[in-house]
Structure 1
């Protein structure tokens, strides 16, 4: 897996100058606005775009994720299938040499009853899974990984920071430590090359991939944002904001025109899956939203996260974070 150009730590530090940091002019400028001003701006930017409207809603402090209900397995592109529930999904990249599975739902039972039969339902062989890529170290994304690894010999990949997070918290169904994902690393299987970008914030080691997809034979470039729900601590929200800015730049360089998420309730993804399933999407693919809209998606995310940081300041809760039994921040989903 050769290394490609990465979003470097230096680039992340450079973008940090844009953030509302204590004692600087950016801070003074930020606190002249209320959090609601940021939320209102994001809402105006979203306009009538249902994808952006869903993102604004997902990034509000009172986020309520949908109840988990069965989701019909579906190829959303010629070479991409989605399996899972209405709460969380796994994305399968179907290559000529096997499958790269991004995320593995919440338990071995999910792997047995949802992922494996779901892949078969879309004409893919689950025994062809070569890699299970975990976008971040929360249980609703890694729970089925070890069963797949044990049964099919797949390698499990996650960033070092999130392998450490999982090891410290020792959750049920945690996969055995395997391959580490480096920032900018490229994984090639068949004719598909996935480039991984570290986008910390949601967890210390969240990873967001960029990869090619095909729709009716035509090639497009997709991204999948690895962790949507902003973290509890303000410092982690600032890291999240740096990641948004850096990843938006990486997307621009790569020409990303497809937006995907591992929680389809956060980006109108569930409705778009339903459109494709019902045949009401027309000739196009609703996940191909174009370069300008993918950049607008990231801009809306940026504005919303800035609002969340200001809201922490308004409430005087900037240093707080929910703490788990290990003394580390308690895990948050999504």
Structure 2
């Protein structure tokens, strides 16, 4: 097992050069919005076309969108080495490695960890006692609520970006885990045969992180991303931060060859429906979570234009709402 941080080295210089699109993305995000909100929403809709995954993210990012009430699905291995358990509203994703399990998000409470995650992972052949790390993608209760349970019962280490550890320290929400490992941008976590890279994608919260990692389907390797926080923040400046994160992460996805899109709120990206397609076998040998690199990039372009539209909506209304800090805010 290793938990690596960046060092000043020749490799760091090469990585920095590879991520130059991120700086360009930030510059683009800071530029004044020239198109109307409707222009951006229309562009997103055209990019989405009749693609159900892309159409669903358009709906999720539209002004006034409310997360739907969806029945909890049965757990499922969506890849040979990835299992998802879900309440319907929020999901926890288990990455199975040769030396244990990395759990991304832990649902909303110790009770959900014990009564949902533990038995449901066992039902799909994943041993919860082998969870070595719990990663909270951001500091809202529905992502960290069960983390301390795994730390106490199985000795798992809990990981979060320092900005959201600070958020928990300031607000002292129920079920907050004890402060443990901090995630920095570009950090890599290696467990057995699997290395996950974490990328700081603030906007939804100041400390939201998104992950890129290898997966296998019927023995064939793919590269997945898991977007850490979908719902746009209330304040217009924070939406601009989110836009920079979308642009920068799209560049990192392109560099990594990402062809799989995942989300911790499966109703926002057609993920729960794709679980049922996979379970039923209606897609044949095709895995519906494998979008291909071009479609994965189009997904991010749709997100970009929806966030640009949300910024323009604020500007057109002459409103810059106050940010919501409470860790009980979710999605």
TM-score by length of 2: 0.93
Alignment check: 8 A CA contact 2:204 2:233 kept: yes
2:204 is matched with: 202
DSSP-derived class of the 2:74 partner: strand
Alignment check: 8 A CA contact 2:106 2:146 kept: yes
Which residue of 70, 89, 102 corresponds with 1:100? Answer: 102
Structure 1 alignment gaps of length 5 or more: none
Residues 147-186 of structure 1 mapped to structure 2, 5 A cutoff = 147-186=149-188
Aligned pair count?
321
DSSP-derived class of the 1:265 partner: coil
Which residue of 12, 17, 23 corresponds with 2:27? Answer: 17
Residues 124-163 of structure 1 mapped to structure 2, 5 A cutoff = 124-163=126-165
1:279 to partner: Cα distance: 1.8
1:66 to partner: Cα distance: 2.2
Q: Distance in 2 between matches of 1:159 and 1:128?
A: 23
DSSP-derived class of the 1:239 partner: helix
Which residue of 42, 55, 58 corresponds with 1:56? Answer: 58
Alignment check: 8 A CA contact 1:7 1:246 kept: no
1:2 to partner: Cα distance: 1.9
Residues 210-289 of structure 1 mapped to structure 2, 5 A cutoff = 210-289=212-291
2:330 is matched with: 333
Q: Distance in 1 between matches of 2:101 and 2:260?
A: 20
Alignment check: 8 A CA contact 2:173 2:327 kept: no
1:13 to partner: Cα distance: 5.1
Q: Deviations over 1:108-133 (max 9, x none)?
A: 11101110001100011110000001
1:34 to partner: Cα distance: 2.2
Alignment check: 8 A CA contact 2:134 2:158 kept: yes
1:17 to partner: Cα distance: 2.2
DSSP-derived class of the 1:165 partner: helix
Q: Deviations over 1:240-275 (max 9, x none)?
A: 000111100000000000000000111110110001
1:191 to partner: Cα distance: 0.4
Alignment check: 8 A CA contact 2:188 2:197 kept: yes
DSSP-derived class of the 2:115 partner: helix
Q: Deviations over 1:31-76 (max 9, x none)?
A: 4x32112111100110000000001001011111122532201000
Q: Distance in 2 between matches of 1:198 and 1:247?
A: 9
CA RMSD of aligned residues (A): 1.8
DSSP-derived class of the 2:73 partner: strand
Alignment check: 8 A CA contact 1:135 1:207 kept: yes
Alignment check: 8 A CA contact 2:139 2:327 kept: no
Q: Distance in 2 between matches of 1:195 and 1:7?
A: 15
TM-score by length of 1: 0.92
DSSP-derived class of the 1:166 partner: helix
Q: Deviations over 1:268-314 (max 9, x none)?
A: 10110001111212111000000000000001000110000000111
Alignment check: 8 A CA contact 1:66 1:86 kept: no
Alignment check: 8 A CA contact 2:131 2:156 kept: yes
Q: Distance in 2 between matches of 1:241 and 1:231?
A: 11
Alignment check: 8 A CA contact 2:185 2:199 kept: yes
